[in-house]
Structure 1
Amino acid sequence: MTIRAYAAFEQGKPLEPFEYEPGELSADEVEIKVEFCGICHSDLSMLDNDWGMTSYPLVPGHEVVGTISQVGSAVSHLGPGQRVGLGWMCRSCLVCDQCMSGNHNRCQEVEAGGATIIGRHGGFADHVRCQASWAIPLPEGVDPKSAGPLFCGGLTVFNPFVKNEIKPTQRVGIVGIGGLGHMAVKFANKWGCEVTAFSTSPEKESEARELGAHRFLNSKDAESLKSATGSLDMVLVTVNAPLDWDAYVNTLRPGGKIHIVGALPSVEVSWFPMLMGEKSLGGSPIGSPQTTRDMLEFAGRHSISPIIEEFPMSKVNDAMEKLRSGSPRYRLVLTNDFD
């Protein structure tokens, strides 16, 4: 078969129509007929080769929702017509210590870390392929049209609650009310936490509260940050911008953690307050297939979905330009219009 897609042939260039032959479907793979594909900032980073790992032609797209069109000979738990989603990772070895301990997203034993758009063609296409273990069925209550961003952005902000064993009685701060942050506020609220939203945009206060924030602080205002001193168990940082890290450390209770999911180049923090308060600093990427299942189940149960803007896939360059300008509200989703 021939897969139709949109690809960039050079760094930073617009996406163009592209066709390729995927070859024979591997025994452990499924092929997904793409219905919707979210656009993540990582797609833009790959287009611009910001991380020095892009190979061209590049077909971006790693927030896929669609129906299975083919299954490999070794796949028995999924079948044609079943609606599934695919995120940043499309393959893991399944036998290394990380996979065997349930941390498939930390597998380093497959080429390019098993990422959907590194050395492979992604979901800005009519079909995409992946290892069956990374094709996650959509549960009841999850809207397929808006589900794509859950498979990368949603999972990215859900995983810290799992990894840090956050309790419903705890208090959580979310830094940045954007593509990741608006979903983080929703998850934190339904987790049962008291939620503080930090933003440089005071005009977002009303919406942040509608999303589930109990308190809103202007992060440009030093006195506003001081008002949160010693009040938070986790500060989840969803932005890529440098911050006054010591000010955020100051908002933590003893034993609290700053958890970063933004792709920051570096972090500088005074160590003594961390040491004396037994505070910690960490981060995480996406999550395992099981964490993805749990996230989707949680999202469906609590009617959590990202706020999206839709574009037909044929207008992908318009959508990418909107992302580049920083104006989406809050996630962009492409609809397959190849047919």
Structure 2
Amino acid sequence: MGIDFTVFKGSKSGEIVEAKGHRDVGPTEALIKLSHCGVCGTDEHYKHADQGLGHEGVGVITEIGSLVPQVSDLKVGDRVGMGWIQKVCGYCKPCLTGMLIQGQHFKCVNVEQFGTANRDEGCFGTGIAWDVSALFKIPDSVGSEYAGPLMCGGATVWGPLYEHNFKAGDRIGIVGIGGLGHLAIQFASKMGFEAVVFSGTEAKREEAKAFGASEFYATKGVTKFEGIKPVDALLITTSVLPDLSLYIPVLAPFAKIFPLTISFDAIPVPALAFVLYGYQLIGSGGAHPASIKAMLEFAGKHDVKPTIEKFPMSKQGVEDAMQKLRDGKVRYRGVLEV
């Protein structure tokens, strides 16, 4: 049967291009009729590439491959979500240790992922073929329009909170209140942590409190923080990496720092403080499969959802959503809707 689809791609000039495609189902794949896709800042890095854009998709399975019943419990009619990873092999060392070692599953040596594989398709479109190793059933308690941003943005902030042995009452510093930050605040507060939020100005104080922040600190013009109880972790969610020297005085000994921003810039690190206090700088770009399943269940149960702006799944809709994101005016995640 297969699936015919429309997909919106990048191009050498940076213009969004509408294209048509067809996929027959592979043995371990599902064909999915898409309904929504979140618009992530990372998509901007690929707008000059000849490839389908979008990696925060949600839709309904219309066909499954011959081997799917042997490797998955997914079936036709299930509502599923997908993120950056398109397929993992299941037999390399990172895959085999992925449930035991934090994040290893996402380092599959045979991985197929957004940006390097299956460039004829993308979640900015009407349909897609996806390996079931990287598909996640969406709980009934999570609306499709909210599920898309959870598949990448949500997983990005959930991974550090869920996979690194923090406990209720720990203080989690969150730098920035944007597409990632507003989800991090919600997850942290509802997991029993103290969400300590840092933002450039006072403008988002009330929003941060509404999301669940227990404390809020503006950073503009500040050269040294005074009187802040130390935090056990620091999640950096801003579009521009901050100077870590400002935050070192508010870190508890052995605090973990997670730079979650996709950036090609260097992070200045005051080495002596790391030596003296045992800080850890931990790269984290997502969450392992069991962790993502837990995130979706948690989000549904505790009503964690992104604040979204909807755009039509069309060439103009994609252009408008990406431009508004580029201008820093989306509050707080753009979602394309078929």
Q: TM-score, normalised by structure 2?
A: 0.92
Of 301, 312, 316 in structure 1, the residue corresponding to residue 318 of structure 2 is: 316
Write the mapping of 1:1-339 to structure 2, written as runs, cut at 5 A: 1-13=3-15, 15-22=16-23, 24-48=24-48, 54=49, 56=50, 58-76=51-69, 77-102=73-98, 103-110=104-111, 114-120=112-118, 121-222=121-222, 225-228=225-228, 231-264=230-263, 265-314=265-314, 315-336=317-338
1:237-279 CA distances to partner (integer Å, 9 max, x unpaired)?
A: 0123131211212211111111111123211111111111111
Deviation string for 1:168-217 (max 9, x for gaps)? 12001100000000000000001101111100131100100000001110
- Aligned residue pairs: how many? 323
Report the Cα offset of residue 146 of structure 1.
Answer: 1.2
Note closer, same or farther for the CA distance 1:148–1:104 as it changes in structure 2 (3 Å cut): same
Does the 8 A contact of 1:231 with 1:251 survive in 2? Answer: yes
User: 1:134 Cα deviation (Å)?
Assistant: 1.1
Give the letter aligned to residue 211 of structure 1.
Answer: F
Q: Distance in 2 between matches of 1:98 and 1:72?
A: 25
Identical-residue share of aligned pairs (%): 35
Give how far 1:306 is off.
0.3
Structure 1 residue ranges, 4+ long, deviating more than 4 angstroms after superposition: none
Structure 2 regions of 5+ residues with no counterpart?
99-103
Deviations, residues 11-36 of structure 1 (Å, cap 9, x unaligned): 422x12211232x3210111111011
Structure 1 gaps of 5+ residues are: 49-53
Structure 2 CA distance, aligned partners of 1:43 and 1:272?
37
What SS does structure 2 have at the residue aligned with 1:159?
Answer: helix
* Residues 224/213 of structure 1: CA separation in 2 closer, same or farther (3 Å cut): farther
Residues 111-137 of structure 1 show CA distances to partners (whole Å, capped at 9, x for unaligned) of xxx213433221111101111021100
Q: CA separation in 2, counterparts of 1:124 and 1:166? A: 36
Distance in 1, matches of 2:224 and 2:273, equals 20
Q: Look up the SS of the partner of 2:87 in the other structure.
A: coil
2:101 maps to which residue? none
Conservation of the 8 A alpha-carbon contact between 2:9 and 2:47? no
Report the Cα offset of residue 140 of structure 1. Answer: 3.0
Give, in whole Å, the separation in 2 of the partners of 1:73 and 1:158.
33
1-structure distance, mates of 2:163, 2:13: 36
Q: Structure 1 residue 8: deviation in Å?
A: 2.4
**In 2, are the aligned partners of 1:187 and 1:304 still within 8 Å (CA)?**
yes
Which residue does 1:51 correspond to in 2?
A: none
Rounded to whole Å, the distance in 2 between the matches of 1:96 and 1:267 is 31
Equivalents in 1 of 2:239, 2:173: separation in Å? 16
AA at the equivalent of 1:70: E
Given that 1:176 and 1:239 are in contact with CA atoms closer than 8 Å, whether structure 2 keeps it comes out as yes
The Cα RMSD (Å) is 1.5
**Contact 2:34/2:127 (8 A) holds in 1:** yes
Q: Secondary structure at the match of 1:205?
A: helix
Partner letter of residue 86 of structure 1? M
Separation in 2, partners of 1:124, 1:243:
31
Amino acid at match of 1:148: G
Tell me how far 1:224 sits from its aligned partner. Answer: 6.6
Amino acid at match of 2:80: V
CA distance in structure 2 between the partners assigned to 1:11 and 1:271 by the alignment: 42
Instruction: Say which SS state the counterpart of residue 242 (structure 1) adopts.
Output: coil
Tell me the CA shift for residue 304 of structure 1: 0.3
Output the CA distance in 1 between the equivalents of 2:257 and 2:179.
19
**TM-score normalised to the size of structure 1?**
0.92
Specify the code of the residue in structure 2 equivalent to 1:204.
K
